[in-house]
Amino acid sequence: MSTLLERARAGRPMEIDVIDMHGHLGRYAFAISDLSPQRLVESMDALGVRAIACSHMRCMSLDVEYGNAEILKAMQACPGRILGYISVYPFDARRVRRSVRRWVAEGFIGAKLHNLHAEGFPYTDPAYEPAYEIADERGLVLLFHTDGDEKMFSEIRSLSQRYPQASFLLAHAGARNEDGYVRIARDCPNVYLELCYSTAQRGLVARLVEAAGAEKVIWGSDAYFHSQAVQLGKVIGADITEEEKVQILSVNARRLLERIE
């Protein structure tokens, strides 16, 4: 059997069921020739990516419910290939609770959250609490936009302890403050590091695996923002074992998804 790197260099799709835990659908401020979920799935097929968990590009606006409805349409159009993150805007706790319950009932796997400090919404804002409570009840995945800020790490550390049955996935791990990401992943059993990052330093994946453990590192691409092929290459070409690559690209994500009730 050829290695993952050998297959990639030959232009062949991966032989494992790769799961992308960080994706997006919808129009944004750059040209995308085909916005359909079917086109994204065609691209995934060429690479060997089995499924992608997506939030909508409206995730940072008051129009999140439109975005959530669009993600549901994509899930229905591509069952098992497109998974859904609920976009949550924390302006009202009661509306957040209604929204999260509605979309979880439709099969969404969790929520994508942003710490909108400019608008006055840190991750610990009370309006976010219903999302955390429901995630804890159901074992859902919570994907956080992160940038290595220590205050943000403190917020997420506290939340992960309050809601131990939810899975906390930190996007863009290692973007800066690499040691901070490693500390929180090692200290908090339900916190995981997600890898999508446009200008990752050479050797980042191997360092995170060595310091935090391969079981705490999960692959995501941030498609459409980044190419799935490029983001795959960071793991496939990393100086880690073949088993660790498979764990990061497939096994860890499957473990989190299987916990969802």
* Per-residue pLDDT at 197: 80
* Per-residue pLDDT at 176: 86
Please provide residue 189's backbone torsions phi and psi, each rounded to the nearest 5 degrees: -60, -30
Distance CA 116, CA 191 (A): 21
CA-based Rg of the chain, rounded to a whole angstrom? 17
* Per-residue pLDDT at 132: 98
| Number of domains into which the chain is organized | 1
Question: Is the separation of the CB atoms in 188 and 157 below 8 Å?
Answer: yes
Per-residue pLDDT of the chain (261 residues; tens, 9 = 90+): 579 999 999 999 999 999 999 999 998 777 777 889 999 999 999 999 999 999 998 877 778 999 999 999 999 999 999 999 999 988 899 999 999 999 999 999 999 998 876 566 899 999 999 999 999 999 999 999 999 999 999 999 999 999 999 999 999 998 889 999 999 999 999 999 999 986 677 899 999 999 999 999 999 999 988 889 999 999 999 999 999 999 999 999 999 999 998
* Per-residue pLDDT at 2: 78
Tokens of 110: 């969790």
Q: Record the pTM.
A: 0.95
The residue segments making up the domain with residue 241 are 4-258
DSSP 8-state assignment for residue 201:
P
* Per-residue pLDDT at 198: 66
Distance CA 183, CA 202 (A): 20
* Per-residue pLDDT at 204: 94
* Per-residue pLDDT at 33: 76
Angle at 23 between CA 18 and CA 26, to 5 degrees: 140
197 preceded by a cis bond (ω within 30 of 0)? no
* Per-residue pLDDT at 152: 92
- What is the domain-level CATH number for residue 196? 3.20.20.140
* Per-residue pLDDT at 161: 98
